[in-house]
Amino acid sequence: MHNAEENASSNLAIPTTSIVQRLGRQDLALQISVRFAVLVLHGDCSLNGESTGLWSQGLWDRTPSITRMKQQILQLRAEGRSYNEIVNLLGCSKSTVAYHCSDNVKIKSLRRKVANRDRINEKRRLGRRYCTELSRRYRSLCGCKDCGIRDYRVLEYDHVRDTKLYEISYLVNANVSIDLLKTEIRKCEVVCANCHRIRTLERRKKPL
């Protein structure tokens, strides 16, 4: 068993961070996950003097708010600001500041996720099931706005009010809050697939 773990560790030619170094042998799976994240974000080698990580290539700018928040927290911490001062300046939670500034908090968070993985996944499954059932019952109750059919299997949502932010199907499967799902549903009318196609084509018609 130990030989297999040692071989798995030796095959990971990825630079370790302080977090990885402080994880014990019993956290091998977690250690591999952290090492993979380091590889993806920072890269493990240089090509023509350039790093291969996503940070250096600018490919991680798709989440600018998270990156910017982390940079601001680390900069304020380097200036000697306390956790409470950073919270007051940036408006974030104290746990967010602790997560970015302390390796111990990151290790505890990763271990907690691994230990509670099954419970978290089950909670997500129950949430998706609840949202799916809520959507089905709502569609059956409303029926098609145009032809009146009430079979939820052929009913869809047609965004007709305000600004469309998300597809309802995405919200149902993304395990979001019920309030967000209800807010987006209120922007819609329930129509069957055929009537939805007709509506879409009518909207796209250009005047002669």
Q: Which alpha helices (DSSP H) does 24-93 contain, by range?
A: 28-42, 54-57, 64-78, 83-90
Q: Which residue has the tokens 């370790």?
A: 16
Angle between helices 64-78 and 83-90 (to 10 degrees): 140
3-state secondary structure of 195: helix
pLDDT at 198 over 90: yes
Cα–Cα distance measured from residue 84 to residue 114, given in angstroms and rounded to the nearest whole number:
29
Contact 19, 106 (CB under 8 A): yes
Give residue-wise pLDDT tens across range 75-101.
898 888 898 998 888 888 888 888 888
Radius of gyration of the chain (CA): 24
pLDDT at 65 over 70: no
What pLDDT is stored for residue 39 in this prediction? 47
DSSP annotation string for 110-177 = HHHHHHTHHHHHHHHHHHHHHHHHHHHHHHHHH--TTT----GGGEEEEE-SS---S-HHHHHHTT--
Q: What is the DSSP letter of 27?
A: G
Contact 128, 120 (CB under 8 A): no
**Higher pLDDT, residue 40 or 96:** 96
φ, ψ of residue 124 to 5 degrees: the values are: -65, -40
Band (pLDDT 50/70/90 cuts) for residue 206 is low
Give residue-wise pLDDT tens across range 106-159.
777 778 778 888 888 888 899 899 999 999 999 999 999 999 999 999 999 999
**Higher pLDDT, residue 8 or 105:** 105
33-42, 146-155, 172-181: range with lowest mean pLDDT: 33-42
Q: Which residue has the tokens 């306390």?
A: 82
